[in-house]
Amino acid sequence: MSAPLGIDHVQLAMPEGGEDRARAFYTALLGMRKVAKPSNLSPAGCWFECGALQLHLGVDPDFRPARKAHPALLVADLAEFRARLAQAGAIVREDKPIAGYHRCFTEDPFGNRIELMQKL
C-alpha cells in the first residue's frame, strides 16, 4: 500500500481584500517570497514560498481564523523571529516546551495561528 510522500503545501484562509496585509506579514516578517498563482485559479489570495515550503492563503467569504489548527514553521534562529515580530507589534506567545525544540506562536494579520520552531 502506498503512503503520502510529503506535504506539497499548507493553505490558510483569509478574508476578502487581505492580500496586502498577507504580503506584508509573510514577506517582511516571516521572510518568505510571494510567488505567482497559476493563471487558471482565482486571482484572489496569495501564495508564498521559502525553499521547499509553500504556504497558500485563499479567500474565504465566511472567514474564521484558524485558532487551533496551524502550520509549524522550522526556523534557524527563533530569537531573531521573536524580536522581529515583537518590533512589528505582532503577537508572540510562549507555550509548553517540547523536547528538542525552542518554540513560540504568533498570528498572521487575520488571526491564523502560526507556530515557529527551532531544533536544538
Return the pLDDT at 101: 97
- According to DSSP, residue 47 is labeled E
Q: What is the pLDDT of residues 27-80, one digit of tens each?
A: 999 999 999 999 999 899 999 999 999 999 999 999 999 999 999 999 999 999
Cα torsion 5, 7, 8, 10 to 10°: value is 170
Number of H helices, E strands in the chain: 2, 7
- According to DSSP, residue 36 is labeled P
User: Taking 90 as the threshold, does the pLDDT of residue 5 lie above it?
Assistant: no
Percentage of residues in the chain with pLDDT exceeding 90?
Answer: 95
Question: Which residue, among 111, 110, 90, has the nearest Cα to 45 in the 3D structure?
Answer: 110
C-alpha grid cell for residue 35? 510567488
- Could you give the angle at the alpha carbon of 81 between the alpha carbons of 59 and 111, nearest 5°? 30
